[in-house]
Amino acid sequence: MGPTNFVKFQKQPMMLKMLYALTPILLFSIFAYGLRVIWLGFWVFLTAILVEYLFEKRKNKPVSQAVLVTAMLFLLSLPPSVPFCVAVIGIAFGIAFGKEVYGGFGRNVFNPAIVGRLFIYITFPLYMTTGWLKPSLFGLDATTSATPLQILRNGEGGNMWNLLLGWRAGSLGEAPVFLILLAAIYLIWTKTANWRLMVSTYGSAVLLTFLLDVFNVAKALPILPAIVSGSLLFVTVFMATEPITAPKKIKSMWIYGIIIGVSGVIIRTFSLFSEGWSFAILIGNMFAPLLDEIIKDKKTKKVTKTTAGNDASGKKVEA
């Protein structure tokens, strides 16, 4: 591998489209929280590329453009005031133990961005649960805030316009709901993400939240702020649709999305953890290979039957 391979990436058009969808959200976070986001992003991207380079160099392979998507997703999932060193540790762990130990791009079972985020959430809980800020113009007047989950439970998220426009506390990427919705439309239109994964994840989460709210279950989130929750939408659009860890069959996709949606709501409502969606994604990742293995699509059955009744030249043969 030559020295120029470090700056040359394996071309992956689908990953570039994902970056295009995420870029407006990153720009909004810079506008809302200031130039600190740029420095935070610099260290996250640099670390992600360096860690993957060190692993891929031994296999004489270039760095994948997918690592840029992982770095972007990880960055946008962080609280605005998280220390740089904590972010570096998280993305390094996610790339190394969530991706490269499985063999690199295309072989990982779990979403590496989520693996890295949960690692620092468990290891450095103080920084991941108290680093919330209210957005302000370029972060000039940013003030501390309660966690996004506490805000939703207390009904303090502000009016619906503030929720949609992202002017409330949250992670760097979950606040601008309208940008996440535009990204969803773009990803579906360009066939970068499968709409079934989005509908099943979001629909199951909203339905269960509605039922818990109707029956006045303790700690249940109010339905209206919950359905425009930036964290739910961010996970639905960018995490649940991740092509490597999601199932490939149509029926499997529906079940996979339901597993994520239901698991996330249950964990956020009844457990001590506020990271319901991160845990839900990993739970879904665990089931994805099994779902594709045990569920048969009609198209798959038809192809199998046709293959069994014909030889390589297309002539009918005896089974």
pLDDT tens digits for range 28-42: 999 888 899 999 999
CA distance 27 to 19: 12
Residue 147 identity (one-letter amino acid)? T
The reported pLDDT for the residue numbered 218 is 76
Query: In 34-102, which ranges are continuous DSSP H helix?
Result: 36-57, 66-76, 84-98
Tell me which of 124-128, 282-286, 294-298 is least confident: 294-298
Mean pLDDT of the region 262-279: 86
The reported pLDDT for the residue numbered 222 is 76
The reported pLDDT for the residue numbered 20 is 96
Kindly state the tokens that stand for 53. 């380079």
Q: Where are the beta strands (DSSP E) in 210-300?
A: none
Largest CA distance in the chain: 77
The reported pLDDT for the residue numbered 262 is 96
pLDDT above 70 for 215: yes
pLDDT above 90 for 113: yes
State pLDDT tens for residues 289-302: 999 999 886 654 54
Choose between 179 and 275: higher pLDDT: 179
Tell me which of 212-221, 245-254, 275-284 is least confident: 212-221
CA distance 191 to 188: 5
Indicate the pTM of the whole model. 0.84
Mean pLDDT of the region 208-215: 90
Mean pLDDT of the region 222-230: 74
**What domains are there in the chain, each with its CATH number?**
9-294 (1.10.3430)
Whole-number mean pLDDT of the chain? 83
The reported pLDDT for the residue numbered 33 is 87
Residues of the chain with pLDDT > 70: what percent?
77
Cβ-proximal residues to 4 (8 Å cutoff; 6+ apart), any chain: none
CA distance 15 to 31: 25
Residue with tokens 């409502």: 269
pLDDT above 60 for 149: no
